[in-house]
Structure 1
């Protein structure tokens, strides 16, 4: 059914009015539609393709060309930074542009808006603790908004990390998983403002450490194991204003514990010294450079009013207090512990960490003695009051105080409470002057039980040492090591005497226990016998590594050295040649097992040759290193069985029946004049029983000078004697079967030449000496 004519008329009237007004109202213009092209070249003409009819220029006054461009004033200048002054623009010479209003000159009405806040703004906390920060969105009416998202961000330029954040709902933890807060990483977390009041329980029986969360509070916990500063920023998208949608808090982490002077002291009227000890809470080490402020709270004492004293290397800060002439019976001293500004390269201001009060009762007969040990590990700084600004007290220069007290020494002795017979027991002694004047003529004495032996003086039961003068606060340390030869309680009695006071003594004991029986490790290396080798024909030697002990061997290293008369031998695939030596490695060798390998070689000329074979291994368990050495001497003959003539002095082969073997070798057989080198001499008992009274002497030519003071040998070996060109060693009491004793002798080369170094060893069972020699080539130190 068609609409009635009068109704249709009323419907078309508004549309006609819109089209009539459209050309004159920029806000009511409609997009133009394409129309049919009357030229026939195309179907439609789109508005963007239509040519614009030229518009006749209106008559205007002729203006000369502009010399400069107009300069616009700054747009959107940050109000927190200075405004850029607007430059007067010129549109033509002599014609100034009209002044323009800048955004800063426009006054806008202030509208109340929501605001995000955080508490506490700054807080001081000990390392390892957990600090809870709260944030809330406050409306202009004073209400807080619930169930609003809050993002927490931790600055990466500081220390610390996020632990836990709050979620939605009225329970903690939330009952529904998707209501939980999200910790993205240690530096970013998402939380929500609470729907109702909560109580965050830290899991302790003390209710005072619980944290109450009100409706509209978002919370997060932060911790740090290191000293430094944490910068935490809270942000919420629920607040429109950029200036009000974020808030920041700062946490200063400190690692400190302290011991103030006692709250009440009875002291003599000659004056007293108050001492504060400051150490780290984590490991108890002293802290140097912190400030302890002593302030006289009444008129009963005189220290200059206020005195700031920095802790020394021992973590102590002392001040001398004397009664005033008024004769007051007591004096109250207020003590503050301050962390200096920018301490240890940090960015924290000066912080007041702890406070205390000491009352001195004058007229006592015994002086107060400051603490001699570190404070207990339980004392630590409590976090400052939430929201309260950290007090930054001005630093008062310390007064000039004369040292009127006497020297007083403190003796500290540290050592393990238990030791093993056959092992060692170290002792660390610290002597500290805790007085106010230098201590002179200091002598330290240690008297110890017969079961302890001091290696530099093995026959003494008491040792002593004089110490230089110790200034106030200075200390001296000694470290002594004693051998333990007897079971039971073995004690030291240490005494420190000095000119200014009475001796200071201390007695410390160590409980010596017998070593537990251990499985013995054993290593034996050997070379197959070779009577003679023919010049120009290949020969072979078999090398054996055997575990003769009761425990497995690991990391077995073998080293084989051939003499110069033998061409480069060909090692097995598991070995390598480094610096002319064949080095091999065996990962593991069980007890009672052995490993063998052969090496083929060719001879260069007829001579007397000696092959050296050394093995080193670690036991598993217990872990200690053992080694063994073997050698094999044989003659390289010319074809036809002629004996070797030899080009010069060579190593002498020991008799086949001699159970005592001695070998001389060099780490580097060629050395320059004036350059230090080493000679290695090994003595091996190849017999089946113990060999006793084994003596060794090594002869050196004039071209070589040995250093008898730096010779390495068996434990507790005295230095050898140098008799002419011969180095004579003290006899060894016992050398077990298959045991090798190694001596390393430092030498210096004096003159060019090829010289022999000869070693001889004899024992009670082998009166005829076993002899071996090796040639050392000394070359010039210039090219």
Structure 2
């Protein structure tokens, strides 16, 4: 050992402390006399004292011992293909961090290692200098994780140099720190570590958290992550060194490795950049969507350390297939992560038939400051829309003889990928055809045949056969349609020519499926045609109708003489009926001639029972009051029927213990004992609320307020609310009871049947009249249509009000309403009737005999828009005091 130290090893002496605080620096600080190093030869430290005068290749081959069973080979960092996958072998309970590859190395791997060289480089002598190799050169890692960096000195022949010293350093301003400077192979007995001081060959050492020294390994090593599988292991080749880097915060680490024994700065240094990100994410899953509704993809991005939302990140979504788009029509979008850590986007299918689209999802850190845009992770979601596509088809003969039977096939088929529920197949029996039979019995409604198919699975079909008899010549159009929830009806039609006799009759009228009210007038247009080439004489038209229909000419049957019809001549007549009772009512029309067989057709209508109007009233208020206290009572009037109600009176009365204070909306009439409002029209299900404030005047055990609502036909409902009035500390200040006054209908109106005015006990107080709003002291008229833009076909309801703002009464108030030229009158309602109507656009109401100060009358006129253009509706009011009249207009626009 003495000879080895004196003759071959580098001489290492304690280093002198330059600060002067100590004589010598403590280990591992040494002064080294390098006596045996050969610069850039790649041989490292050679001890010629112990070398024998022969080459290593002169050694005789010795048979190795039987190797133990090996685990699956780890993946090399060079990216070469892995060996065929083997069954994994369970790892030890505690997996070692470093495994030295020895006899367990497979022969194929050994052959690859012999030719791989420095990070997969092949042998070459083009560059005679040795250089430092570092991998990976750029890395993205999660904060808190550990990144393993590999480095080595690559000789000109493409192989690493073993036992070569390296120095690792983190640049200033970098985040993170070193964790482990790696290990070297110290031999089976571990002697190399104990004699390293003698050979001046230091072991890897962590000098500080940003500076470390190491040495390239003499053997191949495997760095494990403590898992059973070997696919995540890192291979450290012979002649490489490694170091671990970690960071608890986001940022960038710049790690430089230097080989001090090499000449030239560019050859002996390399730098790697590690980007640390504090984010973790959950990619959206693939989905199968029933129907064509949009689907929302959501990616969750949170901080790894705190779990908070990573709001400074975005998620890039990109549609890869042309079968869908995002909600804005694009195929690529960056979605910021919100405060909940979610980035969502909606995907809509393009085709109504559904399909599959792939969406690429990337979690991205946007560019900011000195950092470029960085993709952290990516995935892909597949969205499949399954839809039901149900179609109907009819097949049958193109021609048939009169009075002969014809068979038709009706088929319904689902060509989609989703089952369709509640499928209904419908066929219309053409005019002049009669149903004889069907393979599946339909539900018959007039000339309509319905089959309830139910659920129709993907690629499933149903076939129904029907047989008709052609009872009328001419061209018949057979149509069949299929409908199911969520889809428009799909129709298929077939035309059949019936070889005709001379007479042909056709009747057009109302839809038999649309219910009509009792008393409705219905009109049929009848066409009688001679399809022959000869003149027909003695043509007679007759109609037999049910008792639920009434004709002005008399009872059923009725006959009309048409006379004669020339060849191919058509005669048109009209039939007008009135419905008398609810139910289904039909009539049969027949035409005969003296020299031709008869022709007939029929039609039916459905008459609905007339709905009875009904209304409810609900009165609510406080449970108790104190003398002198003011409280509010609510009155809610609601139309509980399915038909609108017009001209309703709402009356609110109260016991003498109360004094009326105010009402909202303003009452039409008021008095000390009661107030009244008028409701022009209340639609089905609509309600109107009235608020009344009263003052408690006297203490009493129970005092009540009562509300009434009265309508046409004796309709009347009532409700009351009772409460106790407690004594107060003092009586009301200056209130003097007044005599109540009569509550009646508005001026110029006639009380409704079954209604009556309240008992009259005096005239109203002057202060009651002073509460009327007087904006300008004149007669005022207003008209409004509740909107400024409409479409043709819309119904516009104009509200018209005439108000006397004078302090004195006015008489003979006449209101004239002019509708726009683009509209036609539908209905009107108000407290008085219309005296005259001019065409269907102008109404003049019955004059109001007396309009007292502050009182008003209101009307509602309903019109339907028939043409586009500017809509100008006008209302004009004249009176005895304002004979020149006042006018108001409402201007709007109608578009097609």
Structure richer in strand, relative to its length: 2
TM over 0.5: no
Q: Highest relative contact order (Cα 8 Å, sep 6+), 1 or 2? A: 1
TM-score (norm 2): 0.27
Q: Which has the larger radius of gyration?
A: 2
